[in-house]
Structure 1
């Protein structure tokens, strides 16, 4: 009889521990979605020409809060929202590892535009990785005027805060999850 009580208590404790996680997960997703909408507004506010990019792109991913830091070895991570033909289709995780001269930390926003369905599918299949040769354009007024797609993607970043010195080699990886 005691074994049954112990098992029951353990099961109840597990259920009570796991249940709040589901609520937090939904709340976290909602916050990321809200932050992504604000990030989009900030990108367009800084460079009004970006509104056309958001409208014409086949799809895009917005990472509103990417944290980056390092000292010799560095990394970055962030969560974002993915839109296909202006409809919310999923969430994504960004991760980055870099090695080289770097020190400090910073926070920034990132948006990735996809030129076609094929480019979007590559991202959704988690097959898109950025190597050292792919560069992002720092958003300033008019920065998007002459930017072209490279291998089906266009990347823009906007610094939010922090200071980081960097001369490193690394790449970004992405993991897509349907809603």
Structure 2
């Protein structure tokens, strides 16, 4: 973004049906998570990542946290590829996975870890998902895929840890 190479980034690292399925460039399911379309996109993801990511990492440890993050991001990318209609980039699928994980944690353990009660977490999750539909160019499939996979993976990890 800073160098004015946006087109280069989109062409090389975004996920889409054409690049992942037709060209077999599966690496894009990872690379797309580390590029953003604007400073605001990066800032919004960073805020959510700091809040929910720090809590998930403390609870799961570094290795399980990274696994949760990557699986959520990849699943978000796969939903985008199979159900979406345009190329996308960003960490939103992985971040929504963390949000889904923290929703499960709050349901299981209460507000002790997240600082929010379950009703507030549901409202936050619903609002975050719904906000994507109010803006053009938001990859809602990646958000939904990341959210659901993050909740499921965290549930399985949390159960295995206990």
The question of a shared fold, defined as TM-score above 0.5 by the shorter chain, is answered with no
Structure with the higher helix share, 1 or 2: 2
Q: What TM-score results when the alignment is normalised by the length of structure 2?
A: 0.30
Higher strand share: 1
Asked which structure has the greater CA Rg, the reply is 1
TM-score normalised by structure 1 residue count: 0.28
Higher relative contact order (CA 8 A, sep 6+): 2
